Amino acid sequence: MIIDSHVHIGRWSQDDAVEVLIGSASRSGIEVLMVSSLGERGYMSHPTREEMVSANNCVLEAIENFPENIRGICYVTPGLPEESLAEIDRCIASGPMVGIKLWIAAKASDPGVEPIAEKAIELNAPILQHAWYKMTGNMENESTPADVVVLARKFPGLHIHMAHLYGAGYRGIADIAPYPNIYVDTSGGDPEAAVLEYAVRGIGAERILFGSDAPGRGFAVQLGKVTGADISEDAREMILWKNAKRIYSL
């Protein structure tokens, strides 16, 4: 079994349609996709309430149509605190989704994230938090792993699934190493050799999840980061599916 913990769907190109992604993933042996939508008609960094709801409706529809293959992550924004909490209730407390997605509306260290973090703890739902160290400069309000650490320290009971190991790099691995409530997925760039091996050594395989960030990235190439890594078979299994199953209570 392989679970891809980081996939995006939408309806703004033929490439992000859920059936296209399920078909492509299955050719690489990936059975379960954990999907969020950052916008029905395009990635929205600061979505309105309507855009947030329509994005999440894409995911709810995908879960209904492909219950064997799809697990849902609810996209919300600290820019709309009340609306976001209501959306989390709709999609997770009263719905089938299993996690919360935060992108670049605010840094993970921003106090505006705190109500969402408290809600996540209440529902035992991990937060999938985008993070990156870009030497060319992060986007406005784009979190670094150091920002994620601030959130993890404020809320030790919160499970944070930090996106983009290969964007975090060696510095990012060093940042998060002391915080066992931060996990990281293997997305975030080219299949650079030896990065995953370093991460396994630095934070342990039990804190790493396979994630592709498809459709912008390819399932096969991203999977090769894990299946081609010089790590133990136990570690590989943890990364490919066991950790996602455990952390998200799938």
Partner 1 sequence: MIDVSAYTGNWHFRPLPGSTPQDLLARLNAHGIEQAFVSPIEGIFYDEPQLANEMLCEKLRDFPSLMPVAVLNPDLPNWQRNLDICCEKYRVRAIKLYPNYHRYNLNSEKARSLLKAADERNMPVIVQLRVQDVRAQNPLCIVPDVDVRSVIEAAHDIPYTRFVIGAIKWAEAISMAKEITELPNVWMEISHVEYTDCLRRLIKIYGTRQLLFATHAPFFVIKSAILKLQEADLSGDEYNAITRDNARTAFDLCRGK
Binding site for partner 1 (CB under 8 A): 15, 20-21, 24, 27-28, 132, 134-136, 166-167, 169-170, 189-194, 214-225, 227-230
What's the rounded Cα separation, in Å, for the pair 229 and 237? 12
Of the two residues 158 and 223, which places its CB atom closer to partner 1 in the complex?
223
Of the two residues 159 and 225, which places its CB atom closer to partner 1 in the complex?
225
Q: Enter the tokens of residue 40.
A: 């029905």
Closest distance to partner 1 from the beta carbon of 86 (Å): 33
Of the two residues 62 and 91, which places its CB atom closer to partner 1 in the complex?
62
What's the rounded Cα separation, in Å, for the pair 17 and 10? 6
Of the two residues 135 and 140, which places its CB atom closer to partner 1 in the complex?
135
Distance of CA 211 to the CA centre of its chain: 7
Residue 222 in contact with residue 212, Cβ under 8 Å?
Answer: yes
Closest distance to partner 1 from the beta carbon of 173 (Å): 12
What's the rounded Cα separation, in Å, for the pair 250 and 236? 18
Closest distance to partner 1 from the beta carbon of 22 (Å): 11
Closest distance to partner 1 from the beta carbon of 238 (Å): 18
Closest distance to partner 1 from the beta carbon of 217 (Å): 6
Q: Enter the tokens of residue 146.
A: 């150091």
What's the rounded Cα separation, in Å, for the pair 58 and 35? 10
Of the two residues 219 and 241, which places its CB atom closer to partner 1 in the complex?
219
Contacts of 130 (CB under 8 A, 6+ apart): 102, 103, 104, 142, 143, 163, 164
- Measured from the Cβ of residue 190, the count of other Cβ atoms closer than 10 Å reads 11
Residue carrying structure tokens 């320290």: 153
Of the two residues 182 and 214, which places its CB atom closer to partner 1 in the complex?
214
Backbone angles phi, psi at 74, to 5 degrees: -90, 120
- The CA-CA-CA angle for residues 50, 54, 58, to 5°, reads 170
Residue carrying structure tokens 């309806």: 11
What's the rounded Cα separation, in Å, for the pair 231 and 19? 32
- Measured from the Cβ of residue 111, the count of other Cβ atoms closer than 10 Å reads 9
DSSP 8-class letter at 205: G
Closest distance to partner 1 from the beta carbon of 195 (Å): 9
Of the two residues 95 and 218, which places its CB atom closer to partner 1 in the complex?
218
Closest distance to partner 1 from the beta carbon of 204 (Å): 20
